[in-house]
Chains A and B, each alone.
Chain A
């Protein structure tokens, strides 16, 4: 029974990831940090950082990790299959009439909306991660006037944004570099 619930939960996330895997971040945050407090915000951030650093799709990695924490290997498999299932079904349906309806108004409108949502979700992920790293206390609408920054982290964030935007280093190299800086700084 718990397996079925887990499957349905990740199936739901899969359905809602309309604009790509990044959209899962606010959804997971809402369910596992804000409501159930299964993770602290920092642990959640670490989880996603690990999913980002390991090979493979980020959202599938996160689903596997959370599934494993719910139980064991079986739950991990169930969670990631549950997440991939809606995409699989939708894509198989879409492929059979993709060519015909590529330019239909309905399809165009649907994906326009999905991409707006994806953009807002990525923005929200930026805020979530900034709260976990750059700001020393989570910033919300009420505490907008009294925020305090952690400058070393802010420096790393800006540096990695610029380097990644220009394409000098790959994501993996950047993350390893950040880990090395952090590890080194912690001894000072």
Chain B
């Protein structure tokens, strides 16, 4: 069986590193785009994880704060090899990004870019990114906007953003409101339970 080949810890650690290095090197589109590739490699190819693990992983990246790419690397590393696996996977995800972007920054300096054709092309790329972000916003909105309360709070946050309230303050406020609404819901739930 494949698993026997990777029995020793160093082998698994190397495999984790190699896989995440490759994923970060070839997958374009950020953390969200990495999830199916992770599933493909660890579940189908190496059979080291089950698809239930991937479901857990997606649940975790959606509930635990932070960068999705780093979160999923940590989760898979942790499942396979404990904290050592997490460290190795995170390093594996970071190195390609750092190398590629350093090369681009060195040979493609943004501040002194003057070629009119490339500048024009970038204007269209920014338009394309606008469209992509619209999609991201719509998908996220579909997921999180369900009750009147959600709409009200998001509306308030947007107003705050428009009138230039500090972003950090807004994020903290939003988390606080999330906590308040969760505790309120819990209270209401226990009340109705008591009545019935």
Contacts and interface: CB of A to CB of B under 8 A. Distances in A.
Contacts of A53: 28, 125
A33 interface: no
A17 B63 contact: no
A109 B128 contact: no
A181 B124 contact: yes
B69 A57 contact: yes
Interface in A84-119: 84, 86-88, 90-92, 94-95, 98, 102, 105-119
Contacts of B86: 88, 91-92, 95
A87 B183 CA distance: 25
Nearest to A167: B135
B177 A45 contact: no
Nearest to B160: A120
A118 B31 contact: no
Nearest to A140: B162
A161 B132 contact: yes
A21 B69 contact: yes
A41 B140 CA distance: 25
Chain A: number of interface residues, binned into ranges: 35 or more
A49 B129 contact: yes
A14 B67 contact: yes
B94 A80 contact: yes
A174 interface: yes
B97 A109 contact: no
Listed residue (A64, A73, A112, A152) with the most chain B CB atoms within 10 angstroms of its CB: A112
B64 interface: yes
Contacts of B106: 68
Contact of B65 (A52, A90, A92, A165): A90
A129 to B, nearest CB: 4
A117 B93 contact: no
Contact of A64 (B98, B118, B157, B177): B98
Given A124-B161, A185-B120, A20 B31 contact: yes
Among B26, B68, B86, chain A packs the most CB atoms within 10 A around the CB of: B68
B175 A117 contact: yes
A83 to B, nearest CB: 7
A108 B74 contact: no
Nearest to A153: B127
A19 interface: yes
Interface string B96-122: 111011101110101101001110111
B136 interface: yes
25 contacts: A18-B65, A27-B167, A45-B122, A47-B110, A48-B129, A55-B24, A55-B28, A59-B67, A87-B67, A92-B83, A102-B63, A109-B178, A109-B179, A110-B182, A111-B178, A112-B181, A114-B175, A116-B157, A119-B144, A122-B140, A160-B130, A161-B131, A172-B29, A178-B121, A178-B128
